[in-house]
Amino acid sequence: MLDYDVIVCGAGPSGATTAARAARAGLRVALLEKQVLPRHKPCGGGMPIQVETWLRDWLPETSFKAVVEAQVRQLCHTWNFGEVHWGSVNLPESPRDLSLSMVQRPHFDNALARQAVDCGARLRDGLTVRSIERDARGVTVRASTTGDRRETFTARARWLVGADGANGIAAKAASLRQRRRLAIAMEVELPYDWSLSGGDLRPDVAHLEYGAVRRGYAWIFPKGESLNVGAGVFHPPQGGRGSHRRLREELERAIFGYFDRFALEVDRSALKFYAHPLPLWKGKEPRHSSDGRVLLVGDAAGLVNPFFGDGILHGIKSGIIAADCLAEGCPESYTRRLHGEVAANFNAARWLAAFFYRFPHWSYRHVVQRRDGTHIAARLLAGDLQFSEIVGKFVGYVGQKTVRGAISGLGAPLGLKR
């Protein structure tokens, strides 16, 4: 006899959403989390306001307004901490609010996990999954705690949902995602008193820096009583320890560049840096095992946007799709339905990212600094606009700018007006 219909490994946004949605549909669900909640989660914590809309539409009881610490309506862009460009997330003609919500992941994830419990899921945190075994009738999961009080957990279920991140055990157990593409991010969380703030540091402004990191960017995301300052690279160098050391130094320099720009008094020797991998979308590939027993969602499925590096909205979407497939008894349709939701958009985003991060200064001047550049980015983040909708226009735009630049450069010897 099976203990559960579904065991979900990982209580981040994708796992908690899967558990809540599946339990609400009447399935018996266990939600396992390696750490005791609430737990620290390295993440900038920025997301489009549409995350709340998605959760409310699919899980009507959900309300996370209490965990949103700031609403960003403007972005301050810089190139090597100069060439400052201010962009508005919303334009006067915007049909709806596209503000970006800023959360602390420990509180946000915990709220979603508690929502899953309210929907009927059984939450077991502080349990590390040690093994996953599949057979013709289901999945057997063995987990245990660490520390002085050793507890074990063994259960069987019809299905398992892997929401255990980029390096989780679920994908390995199902022989999925054996070739991955990882971005690397590093960040610090600085306590900050907004009453002492002045100038460009404001709770409704996020900062993005493009020139300090090769093939990536740095950021400041405002929170209720802190600043999340970080940097990430989409194409980290391959190699041994020396390459990793140089990458860490580059990311640290970008973070320190923000400290210098805003004269933040920080004991740099006492800083605690958090580094984490971002599993980027690589294209269509199976996201469920051949027998339909294991489904991957969120970071475990490699659903990080290859252009922006965000993953919360897509993780939640994948959790909803996975839960619905299981509730309908058709796990074998999961990959197809997931690809139908994200594949065309992410494939286009990957193509555009390859251009943007290879020619960052050109892209900064001609894309980021457009009057509507920030607004278009916000629409892409929210899903109001698809990357696949703008690829053709972008190619034409690049060609037009390139031709104009060439003509401008030849203007003097050819006698053309600039």
Alpha helices in 283-372, H assignment, sequence order: 312-327, 334-358, 360-363
pTM: 0.93
Q: What percent of the chain has pLDDT over 90?
A: 81
pLDDT tens for 145-176 read: 976 778 899 999 999 999 999 999 999 999 99
Alpha-carbon distance 332 to 326, whole Å? 9
pLDDT band at 411 (very low <50, low <70, confident <90, very high): very low
Position 407 pLDDT exceeds 70 = no
3-state secondary structure 47-75: EECHHHHHHHHHCCCCCCHHHEEEEECEE
Q: Furthest-apart CA pair in the chain: how many Å?
A: 85
Domain 182-279 is found in CATH 3.60.15.10: no
Structure tokens belonging to residue 246: 């140089």
Q: What pLDDT does 53 receive?
A: 80
Alpha-carbon distance 32 to 124, whole Å? 5
Are 219 and 229 in contact by the 8 Å Cβ rule? The answer is yes
Start-to-end Cα distance in the chain: 79
Nearest by Cα to 96 from 360, 382, 399, 408: 382
Residues facing residue 31 across a β-bridge? 8, 123
Q: 149 versus 18: which is more confidently predicted?
A: 18
Name the strand (E) or helix (H) holding 103. strand 100-103
Structure tokens belonging to residue 144: 């245990």
Alpha-carbon distance 6 to 159, whole Å? 5
Q: What's the chain's average pLDDT?
A: 92
Question: Would 4-69+98-178+281-347 and 182-279 be classified into the same CATH topology?
Answer: no
Q: What pLDDT does 50 receive?
A: 84
DSSP state of 366: I
Alpha-carbon distance 40 to 226, whole Å? 15
3-state secondary structure of 378: helix
Mean pLDDT of 208-225: 96
User: What CATH number was assigned to the domain covering residues 4-69+98-178+281-347?
Assistant: 3.50.50.60
The total number of residues written for the chain in this structure: 418
Are 360 and 376 in contact by the 8 Å Cβ rule? The answer is no
Nearest by Cα to 253 from 224, 218, 223: 218
Break the chain into its structural domains and give their ranges.
4-69+98-178+281-347, 182-279, 359-414
Give the E-state strand segments of 135-211 in sequence order.
139-144, 152-162, 182-191, 205-209
Amino acid found at 312: I
Q: What pLDDT does 291 receive?
A: 96
Alpha-carbon distance 221 to 263, whole Å? 17
Position 412 pLDDT exceeds 70 = no
pLDDT tens for 306-321 read: 999 999 999 999 999 9
Residues sharing a CB contact under 8 Å with residue 214, sequence separation 6 or more, in sequence order: 233, 250
